[in-house]
A and B are shown apart, each in its own frame.
Chain A
Amino acid sequence: MRMLIRRAGLAAFLLVFALFVVGPLAWLALRAFSGTWQYPHLLPDSWTLKWWTQVLDSADLGGSIRLSLVFAPVVTFVSAVICLPAAYAFARYEFPGRRFLLVALFATNAFPKIGLFLSMAGVFYSLRLMGTFAGVVIVQLLGTLVFMTWLPAAAFSAVPRSLEEAARDAGAGPLRVFFRVTFPLAAPGILVAMILSFLASFDEAQGTYLVGAPNYVTMPSTMYELVVNYPGQVAAVFSVLLAIPSVLLIALVRKHVMSGALAEGFQLR
């Protein structure tokens, strides 16, 4: 009897939890295909694709999609150039100030985003970065620094030193050892960091809106205006479109994320 109650309780929790997590997304996805939908019907009264053509034909909305697809790769590339050497250094060397640099880097996570963005906007006015391409890249870059350093650092330290030494004994120079042994073995971890960085940039809305608008309005920052100015179905279509890259890319790295590698990235070592 107690077993039965426990099982029923667990099943009820699972159901409520599933509704809490997935319900809003399913409800929004339905809305993207709905013509009329009267309360309190649980499904739309009629179905249509006209909202999709409206979104895809609109020059504004199309432009923001293109803009998002430009920013994300640029930010990922810049972030990789800045962070990968640091990742290697943190993984392979003991050096003066290592601990300090680690704590400083992690402290960047301890600033509440919106307060930080407003402070940045103040300085950006003076540096003439408000409303510029570079300004948006910098805002988005800041969200990628920590894991772009830490995940690759974990990948580098997982490469056995004995392999590198063997290559060196066979006469390979340090650069050759790095590019033929260390880098290929660490590549999967680096790829995960790059995908997460791409997504962080692609999904960043508040800082991009504050710094970029009205010149650079990316897909997620368009949503702020869309919700107010368009019928609900248009926002729903836009949401589905905006979610596609995230879902596809995170699905690719799902195993790595679930294995706890991401969680490890938030602990200093």
Chain B
Amino acid sequence: MARRTPRLRALVMASPPVLVAAAFIGLPVVSAVLFSFGYFGGFNSILAEIGQHEHLVTGTSGTLDAYRDVFGDSEFRQSLWATVLVTAASTAVVLVLSWGIALYLRLSGGRIGKMLAGLAVVPMFIPVVIASYAILEFYSPDGFLRSLAAAVGWSNAPVYGYTMVGVAFGQIWTNLPFGVLMMTSGLNAVPDALIEAARDAGASTARAVRSVLVPMAAVPTTIVATFTAIGVIGSFTVPYLIGPSAPNMLGPLMTYTFESFNQPQQAEVMAVVVFLLSAVIGAFYVRANLRGAKETKR
């Protein structure tokens, strides 16, 4: 009895944040999935009343008609493709930059390393809305990049405002601090002795990095990759402000579909597609974490 009471109390204490998440994340997600297949009972009833172009079912078997609508629309297919491309490209760049900076800081350190790391966390200080607007202006037709190019005699330098390249720049910019912080802390956790042992055994720096640092930092690397990818897939502000009107990423498209076109069912079909994409990515995150937790288990 004396042992059981504190355990039960601990469970009760630990539950509230998970219950809040279950109520306001779990429940809406389940409702959205049901609604996308045409079930309109319960929490979806009001949505079903106000929405247009809906495919609702009364029986137990759902319908794929809303999915047919969405996948039959070429704008959606283009947006899906754009989303996948931007996500892959910006995740890759964030990974390379944060690995590079963290590695430089770990092996060389010094003033330049500190400057790089200091610069890389600056975006954390700035709200995403502002960053997006600033990036849009910076690469606009009368922005800094074009002005600088004109000053050195290049009068038709590219414009990245309202383009997908600009969106990718914005995604890299906003996701960089997390990547760099995570990789810096991950590489710092690798003991000096291990790197030196590899070097003593005759390994070059590149070899020591490949055979010691890369495997030892696998968990933080996975976390950076998955978090960045999920963050980019689920972003709205960056593509909405920086991107073209169409085809843009899925974030703006599903918001327009929900609010402006008043087609909540089609919007939630897109949300489900995005959930599926990130469920695949999220599985890697949870797996890497569980493996990491086992290794460090006290």
Residues of A that sit less than 8 Å from B by CB: 10, 14, 17-18, 20-25, 27-28, 31, 37, 39-42, 82-83, 85-86, 88-90, 92-98, 101, 103-123, 125-127, 138, 141-142, 145, 148-149, 202-203, 205-206, 210, 220-221, 223-224, 227, 232, 235-236, 239, 242-243, 246-247, 250-251, 257-258, 260, 262-264, 266-269
Closest 5 A/B residue pairs (Cβ):
A112-B234, A260-B185, A110-B282, A40-B150, A93-B10
Q: Is the CB of A220 within 8 A of B127?
A: yes
Contact partner of B122 among A21, A90, A120, CB < 8 A?
A21
> A210 to B255, Cβ gap below 8 A?
yes
Contact of B119 among A22, A149, A223 (CB under 8 A): A22
Which residues of chain B are within 8 angstroms of A220 by Cβ–Cβ distance?
127-130
Chain B: interface size category? 35 or more
Asked if residues A269 and B296 are in contact (CB atoms below 8 Å), the reply is yes
Interface hub of A18, A31, A110, A202 (most chain B Cβ within 10 A)? A110
B233 close to chain A: CB less than 8 A: yes
A residues less than 8 Å from B220 (CB atoms): 263, 267
B185: A residues at CB distance < 8 A: 260, 263-264
- Determine the chain A residues whose CB is within 8 A of the CB of B277 once the complex forms: 112
Q: Could you say which residues of chain B place their CB within 8 Å of the CB of A247?
A: 125-126
A27: contacting residue among B137, B184, B279, B285, CB under 8 A: B137
* Chain B residue contacts of A18, Cβ below 8 A: 119
Which of B58-66, B73-81, B205-213, B287-295 lies at the binding interface?
B287-295
Contact A246 B29 (CB under 8 A): no
List of A residues within 8 angstroms of B131 by Cβ: 24-25
Q: In the complex, which residues 227-249 of chain B have their Cβ closer than 8 Å to any Cβ of chain A?
A: 227, 230-231, 233-237, 240-241
* Cβ-neighbour of A95 out of B7, B133, B134 (below 8 A): B7
Residues of B within 8 A of A206 (CB): 236-237
In whole Å, how far is B269's beta carbon from the nearest beta carbon of chain A? 10
CB–CB B254/A115 < 8 A: yes
| Chain B residues within 8 Å of A25, by CB | 122, 126, 131, 134
Q: Complex Cα distance A268/B293, Å?
A: 6
Contact of A96 among B7, B45, B176, B240 (CB under 8 A): B7
Q: A27-B144, A28-B133 are in contact. Are A86 and B13 (CB under 8 A)?
A: yes
**Cβ-based interface call for B124 (8 A):** yes
* Sample of 24 A–B contacts (CB below 8 Å): A27-B137, A40-B142, A82-B17, A88-B13, A92-B10, A93-B7, A95-B11, A110-B286, A115-B234, A119-B31, A122-B28, A122-B31, A122-B268, A123-B27, A123-B43, A141-B20, A202-B127, A203-B127, A223-B130, A236-B137, A239-B133, A258-B117, A260-B181, A263-B182
Contact A39 B146 (CB under 8 A): yes
At the interface, is chain A mostly helix, strand, loop or mixed? helix
Beyond A14-B116, A114-B234, A267-B223, 15 additional contacts (C-beta under 8 Å) are A17-B119, A21-B120, A39-B147, A93-B14, A95-B8, A98-B11, A112-B235, A115-B272, A119-B29, A119-B268, A122-B43, A123-B27, A251-B125, A257-B121, A267-B289
* Docked pose: A123 CA to B22 CA in angstroms: 13
Within 8 Å CB of A264, what residues of B? 185
B29/A268 in contact, CB under 8 A:
no
Known contacts: A106-B286, A126-B43, A242-B130. The answer to whether A119 contacts B184 by CB under 8 A is no
Complex Cα gap A98–B7 (Å): 10
B267 interface residue (CB < 8 Å to A): yes
Q: A123-B27, A243-B126, A246-B126 are in contact. Are A114 and B14 (CB under 8 A)?
A: no
Q: How many A-B residue contacts, CB cutoff 8 Å?
A: 298
Which of A24, A28, A104, A232 is the most central at the interface, judged by chain B CB atoms within 10 Å of its CB?
Answer: A24
What chain A residues lie within 8 Å of B32 (beta carbons)? 115, 118-119, 122
- Chain A nearest CB, measured from B283 CB (Å): 9
The minimal Cβ–Cβ distance linking B79 to chain A, given in whole angstroms, is 12
Q: Which of A14, A257, A266, A269 is within 8 Å of B115, CB to CB?
A: A14
B104 closest partner in A (C-beta): A10
User: Are B289 and A28 interface neighbours, CB within 8 A?
Assistant: no
Given A242-B127, A247-B125, A268-B290; A114-B236 close (CB under 8 Å): yes
* In the bound complex, CA of A41 to CA of B292 (Å): 53
In angstroms, Cα B130 to Cα A223, docked, is 8
Residues of chain A with a CB closer than 8 A to B141's CB: 39
Q: Hey, which chain B residues are within 8 Å of A94, CB to CB?
A: 7
A223 and B293 alpha carbons, distance in the complex (Å)? 41
- Chain A residues with CB below 8 A from B13, complex form: 85-86, 88-89
- A260 and B184 form a contact (CB under 8 A): yes
A263 touches B290 (CB 8 A): no
Q: Enumerate chain A residues within 8 angstroms of B262, measured Cβ to Cβ.
A: none
Query: Which residues in window 73-120 of B have CB below 8 A to A?
Result: 112, 115-117, 119-120
CA distance A21 to B234 in the complex (A): 22
